A and B are shown apart, each in its own frame.
Chain A
Amino acid sequence: MGATTYQIILEIIHYLFFIYSIAAIGSYLVLAAISAVETVEYKRKNSFVNYKEIMSSNISPSISIIAPAYNESLNIVENVRSLLSNHYVNYDVIIVNDGSKDDSLEKLIEVYDLVQIDYLINEQIPTKPLRKGIYKSTNPAFEKLIIVDKENGGKSDALNMGLNISNSKYVACIDVDCLLLEDSLQKMIKPFLETTGRRVIAAGGVIRISNSCVVKDGKLHDVNFPKKLLEQGQILEYIRAFLLGRMAWSRLNGLLVISGAFGLFDKKIAIRVGGYDTKTVGEDMELVVRMRGHMEELKKKYKVAYIPDPLCWTEAPDNYKIFISQRNRWTRGTIETLRRHRKIGFNPKYKALGMLSYPYWFFFERLAPVIEVVGLFYFGILILFNFVRWDYSFAFITLAYLFTVFFSLIALITEELTYHQYKKKGTGFRLLRIAFLEPIVTHPFILYAAIRGNIDYYFNKKKKWGEMTRKGMTKA
């Protein structure tokens, strides 16, 4: 009898694993299908837009680009030049030097002819105080530039300072080392202006990986496919996430994340909810969830928009050490955000946000690595007791692998049909190869980083808080 109960429990565990996998596969497929529909629609609509017409318009609403910088001395001058060359009329660039210990400020002062100015800040969000103050250029060519020098307080604190200083209606929060294409602001502002009947509170853009690309004078000259498998794997991963995932969530109005590397926000609402949270490593996701929760509570009609065009290019980690620490941070950010906004989850009051987005993130983003590791442990135990049915395991591994490859191929085909960024001959083979290799070259490390993230989050409090003030910000 003991043996049969034991057998039944095992059966149940097997079925649960199986149901979870099928649900994950199913949800990916549904999202991909929705993305396809939405992408076709977006491409069609956008074939009419003449961005030139809004570019010169002085009636277009004002935008502030807010870019926090911490010890970026090496590239800061070039980065600022790139930010100043956007094809939008009514915008300014606020660089927040977050207590850098290097000569960033001195370099900027010299190159851009900066002088200190008297500036009245409406401190709606509390932040660390100014250090040397606020600077503007005496050269009219750089009149769009504002440099703020403040005490170190981390990325969120720097962004909040930018929110306080901006006089614009909209703010674009970006990483200073991001390369924005010249038409990025025009494209990002469009959903805010064209949507009638509900308020667009934020818009997120696609992040593309600029490793190996040729960048000159702050402009993207040539797109190349990098050599390292790790970089290639990340490119594939980004294409999958942005083209097949987020596009669908935007259609369902369920986007929870706007990448910290490039997002545009309605400043009034961002300030009303209190700005960026300085106590989390996942500040980009946390702010969006908080803003959405706020709008739901007010029962206002709103939308978080998403622009699939490749507008923002950033350098991705090119070695496993940085890669793992980045993913570790992302994991902690996700856990933190989901925990803090627990009341949204599975709460019908929050409609799609509570019943669809949150559960999806909880089960398939938050829990996926945990379940995977539990599965591996279980597998290990089976091996130990010699219970393992190798043929069964083989069946599941094959299924998982083939699905991943299949899904990557769909993503690559979508990329070709829409943006076709990797045009060069021979890249096709490498794209295909990485679709088959990616489950081996990046996935194990992502899993490892996610587990470390979980451990650090729950058991390593020092790391959880310590990193914030010490590091300020890291790439991507």
Chain B
Amino acid sequence: MSDAKKIVLAEDNSIFLLLLKFRLEKEGYKILTAVDGKEAIDLIEEHSPELILTDIMMPFISGLEVISHVRNKLNMKTPIIVFSSAGQEEIVLKAFDLGATDFMSKPLSPNELVIRVKRLLR
């Protein structure tokens, strides 16, 4: 278990966060959770995870800023999947410009998320 792959998961909806955490842990990943962008950045800097999952709309520091921090400040190539809500198409485009790897729009299916995570971490 010690070589479990680490994933940082940032999401301000506490129960959704919990649900995804359990689901991904069942697949054998080690999940580090953050409820806002600030915590996410701290976790990323400390643990250098293999994958980052982040919501776009979060208090304090948005998902966009997390991406920009990872790519430009930390110069990390870690894959990043962003979650967006309906009507945020413009923001998703910005996320890709900043270097997001993939996106999923809410409401999203946890099973589909697992498939995408597996593909990226293979």
- Footprint of B on A, CB under 8 Å? 55-57, 89, 141, 216-217, 221
Residues in B with CB closer than 8 Å to A221 are 60
Instruction: List the B residue with the shortest CB-CB distance to A85.
Output: B62
Residues in A with CB closer than 8 Å to B60 are 216-217, 221
Residues in B with CB closer than 8 Å to A57 are 87
Q: Which 4 A-B pairs have the closest CB atoms?
A: A56-B87, A56-B86, A141-B94, A55-B87
Residues in B with CB closer than 8 Å to A55 are 87
Q: B14 within 8 Å of A by Cβ? A: no
Q: Is A56's CB under 8 angstroms from B94's CB?
A: no
Q: B111 within 8 Å of A by Cβ? A: no
A217 CA / B86 CA spacing, docked (Å): 25
A55 CA / B94 CA spacing, docked (Å): 18
Instruction: List the A residue with the shortest CB-CB distance to B64.
Output: A141
- A-B contact number at CB 8 A: 10
Q: B88 within 8 Å of A by Cβ? A: yes
A30 CA / B86 CA spacing, docked (Å): 46
Q: For the side of the interface on B, what is the size category? A: under 10
| SS class, residues of chain B in contact with chain A | loop
A178 CA / B4 CA spacing, docked (Å): 49
Residues in B with CB closer than 8 Å to A56 are 86-88
Instruction: List the B residue with the shortest CB-CB distance to A221.
Output: B60
A181 CA / B43 CA spacing, docked (Å): 29
Residues in A with CB closer than 8 Å to B86 are 56
- Footprint of A on B, CB under 8 Å? 60, 86-88, 94
A221 CA / B86 CA spacing, docked (Å): 26
Residues in A with CB closer than 8 Å to B94 are 141
Determine how close the nearest CB of chain B comes to the CB of A232; give it in whole angstroms: 28
Residues in B with CB closer than 8 Å to A141 are 94
Residues in B with CB closer than 8 Å to A89 are 87
Instruction: List the B residue with the shortest CB-CB distance to A57.
Output: B87
Determine how close the nearest CB of chain A comes to the CB of B72; give it in whole angstroms: 15
Determine how close the nearest CB of chain B comes to the CB of A290; give it in whole angstroms: 38
A221 CA / B94 CA spacing, docked (Å): 25
A268 CA / B8 CA spacing, docked (Å): 51
Determine how close the nearest CB of chain B comes to the CB of A144; give it in whole angstroms: 11
Determine how close the nearest CB of chain B comes to the CB of A2; give it in whole angstroms: 77
Determine how close the nearest CB of chain A comes to the CB of B9; give it in whole angstroms: 23
Instruction: List the B residue with the shortest CB-CB distance to A87.
Output: B57
Contacts A55-B87, A216-B60, A221-B60 supplied; 5 other A-B pairs, CB < 8 Å:
A56-B86, A56-B88, A57-B87, A141-B94, A217-B60
Determine how close the nearest CB of chain B comes to the CB of A90; give it in whole angstroms: 12
A293 CA / B37 CA spacing, docked (Å): 50
A89 CA / B60 CA spacing, docked (Å): 21
A-B contacts, 10 listed (Cβ < 8 Å): A55-B87, A56-B86, A56-B87, A56-B88, A57-B87, A89-B87, A141-B94, A216-B60, A217-B60, A221-B60
Residues in A with CB closer than 8 Å to B88 are 56
A352 CA / B88 CA spacing, docked (Å): 45
Instruction: List the A residue with the shortest CB-CB distance to B57.
Output: A87
A141 CA / B86 CA spacing, docked (Å): 19
A89 CA / B88 CA spacing, docked (Å): 10
Determine how close the nearest CB of chain A comes to the CB of B60; give it in whole angstroms: 8
Determine how close the nearest CB of chain A comes to the CB of B92; give it in whole angstroms: 12
Determine how close the nearest CB of chain A comes to the CB of B77; give it in whole angstroms: 24
A121 CA / B86 CA spacing, docked (Å): 36
A216 CA / B36 CA spacing, docked (Å): 15
A55 CA / B60 CA spacing, docked (Å): 20
